[in-house]
Amino acid sequence: MKNSAKVDRYKINDEFQRLQTEVEELGAYLRNNRGEGNCLFHAIADQLRIQGVNADTIRREACNYVLQHLQQAQGFFTDGESPVQYAHQTSNDGVQGDGRIFWAICAFYHIRIRVRMVGGITFEEGNQNDRVVEIGYLANIHYVSIRYD
């Protein structure tokens, strides 16, 4: 799942409200973040807050994991896409992370990522035996944390 380059703020706000309503029915709420190209890593960091990791650490560790596991990484990229180029680019602050790096985050932190989108759409990445962290995905561009506390 690649992020869209641009999106209307209204659409993000609309989807935020709609997803908020959906997760409230599950006893949860959304925790937004400042985004700025770092929203995926902030959302995961919020989920891992007990472990004391931050968004910068998650970005760095996930990108390094991709570089150290290139053969495994190739399966998450289409022909013509380079995991090396992706990892180098994504390692920079403000560069949007996307679904192509989920596997590395899951493997490094031993978690399973559950992504919820408006309309009850849900998908998961990672080992079924690992702890689940939940994030929301809004307007094909913005990730938020889903909290149950």
Beta strands 29-31 and 111-117 are unpaired
Give pLDDT, residue 52.
Answer: 80
Query: What DSSP string runs through 3-59?
Result: PPS---HHHHHHHHHHHHHHHHTTT-EEE----TT-HHHHHHHHHTGGGT--HHHHH
What number of other Cβ atoms are within 10 A of residue 6's Cβ? 6
Give residue-wise pLDDT tens across range 62-109.
999 999 999 999 999 988 899 999 999 999 999 999 999 999 999 999
User: Hey, is 138 helix, strand or coil?
Assistant: strand
Give pLDDT, residue 37.
Answer: 93
How far is Cα 43 from Cα 101, in angstroms, rounded to an integer? 14
Give residue-wise pLDDT tens across range 4-52.
555 678 899 999 999 999 999 999 999 999 888 999 999 999 999 877 8
Distances (CA, A) of 121 to 67, 114, 124, 128: 31, 10, 11, 19
Length of the chain: 149
Taking the CA atoms of the chain, what radius of gyration do you get in angstroms? 15
Return the CATH class of domain 9-147. Answer: alpha beta
Give pLDDT, residue 2.
Answer: 52
Give pLDDT, residue 9.
Answer: 80
**Region 118-133 average pLDDT:** 97
